[in-house]
Amino acid sequence: MKRREFITLLGGAAAWPVAARAQQIERMRKVGILVPAAAGTPLWQAYVAAFRDGLQKLGWSDGRNVRIEERWGADSNELRTYAGELAQMSPEVILAGAAAGLMPLQRATQAIPIVFANVPDPMANGFIASLARPGGNITGFANYEPKIAVKWLELLKQLAPRVARGTFLYDPANPTGDRYLHEIQAAAASFGVEMRGAAVRDAAAIEQALDARTLAPNGGLVVAGGPATSSHHALIIALADRNRLPVIYPNREFVAAGGLASYGVDTSELFRSAASYVDRILKGEKPGDLPVQFATKFELVINLKTARSLGLDPPIQLLARTDEVIE
């Protein structure tokens, strides 16, 4: 072999590992997550874990072929800041947790694909053009429409028939909060209940909302999802327990932590499903071509131990159609 040929061959061999490493770097993808809760909130840790598990099962491993950037915001200001920060990172797709996370992301970028999970009524909230063909850069998995608030009130009356005055606790960072309140107040008279709304953004507001009217005999509480109620779910449950207050929650995680009852969707499953759309977008599909999907399974969960501590005796008919009884 001639000396020049040998040097050329040697140079090519040395360059091969560099080229291989470059290809590996090129295969590393970037995915953002915006979580509308304080960092480390147990409910949201479970949802993010479900999303990561979904990605893992589809072949995406954080640190191997995808880099996941998480940002957690406990209020609207933090969420706006982190939405802008994620957009500046130019990930290939961003997961928006709930409507409170989707709103600031929608303002931050119209170019980066966004997949949402656990968002109510996405058309009415102005996130998409249609369910079948969302258009634009947003698609995802919705939970339910505002009329579910009537189901929450109905469940409260079934478990605590003497409730005559109720408070609807919601975080205004959730854009559907006002419509929940409208639905529940419109139906309240038919249940013999006077309902008022209490918008809360932090722990102090939650404690103030549980005022003398709410805590008086025959009072009750309905809680909607949102950054404040999710981040402070332990506080709400503790206050309800201390004041012997019947409370209905939006999902089972509240009940598993000691809350009375919930009616809603399997939120973890929505986040696990969202991973399938992130996978498809990473493989070249456009978010505007992926139809929005609604949750199809609703769960009724009752904590029997909490019910008994409140002196409540859930009707047999209600327990018969309960998906999970926690004792």
CATH of the domain at 112: 3.40.50.2300
**For residues 143 and 139, what is the distance between their CA atoms, to the nearest angstrom?**
13
pLDDT tens for each residue of 16-57: 454 444 444 447 999 999 999 999 888 899 999 999 999 999
Please indicate, yes or no, if residue 244 is contained in any of the structural domains. yes
Decide: helix, strand or coil at residue 77.
Answer: helix
pLDDT at 175: 86
pLDDT of residue 17: 52
Domain annotation covers residue 29:
yes
From residue 162, give the alpha-carbon distance in Å to each of 157, 205, 246, 260, 266.
Answer: 7, 26, 10, 16, 29
Structure tokens of 254? Answer: 């509240």
Measure Cα distances from 216 to 17, 160, 200, 222 in Å. 73, 14, 20, 15
Beta-bridge partner residues of 302: 261, 325
208 and 256 housed in the same domain: yes
What is the pLDDT averaged over residues 108-132? 95
288 and 192 share one domain: no
Judgement on whether residues 125 and 90 belong to the same structural domain of the protein: yes
pLDDT at residue number 174: 86
Query: Looking at the structure, do residues 206 and 314 belong to the same domain, yes or no?
Result: yes
Q: Which residue is associated with the tokens 């290939």?
A: 92
- Tokens coding 152: 């929450």
Q: Looking at the predicted structure, is the pLDDT value of residue 2 above 80?
A: no
Domain of 32 in residue numbering reads as 9-144+267-296
pLDDT of residue 27: 73
Q: Do 21 and 53 belong to one domain?
A: yes
Please check whether residues 134 and 226 belong to one and the same domain: no
Query: pTM for this structure?
Result: 0.84
Residue 86: inside a domain, yes or no? yes
Q: Does residue 201 share a domain with residue 282?
A: no
Residues 58 and 207 in one domain: no
On whether both 167 and 44 belong to a single domain, the answer is no
Does one domain contain both 168 and 213?
A: yes
Same domain? 140 vs 189: no
Q: pLDDT (tens digit, 9 = 90+) per residue, 188-201?
A: 999 999 999 999 99
